[in-house]
Amino acid sequence: MLCIFCPHCGEYREEEEFSARGQAHIKRPEDPEACSDEEWGNYMFFRKNPKGLHHELWVHSAGCGKFFNMTRDTVSYEIKETYKIGEQPSVVAAEK
């Protein structure tokens, strides 16, 4: 069970209070009608599955109710950082 720092509450809380909501930083296209089916399909369905650093969207569902981002190592489960929506990660995977 992870121990997660909620950037809104400013506290470490137990994973039981949170819900994972998949990959972070997936922006809804500004003009959906201008997207091809393939572009829209990529936006809706295609997600990364990295071994190593992963930027994830979480929500403090049984706490403050706020969404935030988390950078987590999918191998060690180490949480590198949590940061608010709209902010960019300071820890990123090396380009391959």
Partner 1 sequence: MTQPNRVQDAGRINRSRPLTFTFNGRTFQGYEGDTVASALLANGIDIVGRSFKYARPRGIVAAGAEEPNAVLQLGASEAAQIPNVRATQQELYNGLECASTNGWPTVEFDVMAYLGKIGGGMMPPGFYNKTFMSPQSLWPTYEKYIRKAAGLGRASKQKDPDTYDHLNQHCDVLVVGGGAAGLAAALAAGEAGARVILADEQAEFGGALLHSNDWINEKPASNWVAETVARLRTMDNVQLLPYSTVNGYHDHNFLTIHQRQTDHLGETAPQGLTRQRLHRVRAGWVVLATGAHERPLVYANNDVPGCMIASAVSTYIRRYGVVPGNRLVVATTNDYAYQTAIDWANTGRQVVAVVDSRPDPDGELVAAAEKAGIRVIKGSVVYDVQGSKRVKSVSVARLSTTELSLAGSETTLDCDTVATSGGWSPVVHLSCHTGSRPVWDDDVIGFVPGPANQKQLLAGGIQGHYSIAECLAEGFSAGAQAATNAGFDKPTDLTVPKVHEPSVGKAMPLFYVPHKQPMTRAPKQFVDYQNDVTAASIDVATREGFEAIEHVKRYTALGFGTDQGKLGNINGMAITAQAVNKTIPETGTTVFRPNYTPVTFGAIAGRNARELFVPERYTAMHQWHVDNGAKFEDVGEWKRPWYYPKAGESMQDSLNREVLAVRNGVGMLDASTLGKIDIQGKDAREFLGRIYTNAWAKLAVGKCRYGLMCGEDGMVFDDGVTSCLGENHFLMTTTTGGAAHVLEWLELYHQTEWPELEVFFTSVTDHWATMTIGGPDSRKLLAELCDDIDLDKDAFKFMDWRQGTVAGVPARVFRISFTGELSYEINVQANFGMHVWKKLMEHGAKYGITPYGTETMHILRAEKGFIIVGQDTDSTLHPYDLGMGWAVAQQKPFSFVGKRGMSREDPTKANRKQLVGLLTKDPQKVLPEGAQAVADPKQAIPMTMLGHVTSSYYSATLGRSIAMGTIRGGLDRMGETVYYPMLDGSVVEAEICSPVFYDPKGDRQNV
Q: Which residues bind Zn ion (CB under 5 A)?
A: 6, 8-9, 60, 63-64
3-state secondary structure of 54: strand
Q: Please give the residue ranges that form the binding site for partner 1 (CB under 8 A).
A: 1-3, 14, 21, 27-28, 31-33, 35, 37, 40-41, 43-44, 57, 59, 61, 65-67, 75-77, 79, 85-86
Q: Cβ closer to partner 1: 31 or 95? A: 31
Strand partners, 3: 14
Distance CA 78, CA 45 (A): 26
The least distance separating partner 1 from the CB of residue 94, rounded to whole angstroms, comes to: 21
CA 30 – CA 89 distance, rounded (Å): 22
Q: Which residues on neighbouring strands pair with residue 23, listed in sequence order?
A: 56
Q: Which is nearer to partner 1, 77 or 96 (CB)?
A: 77
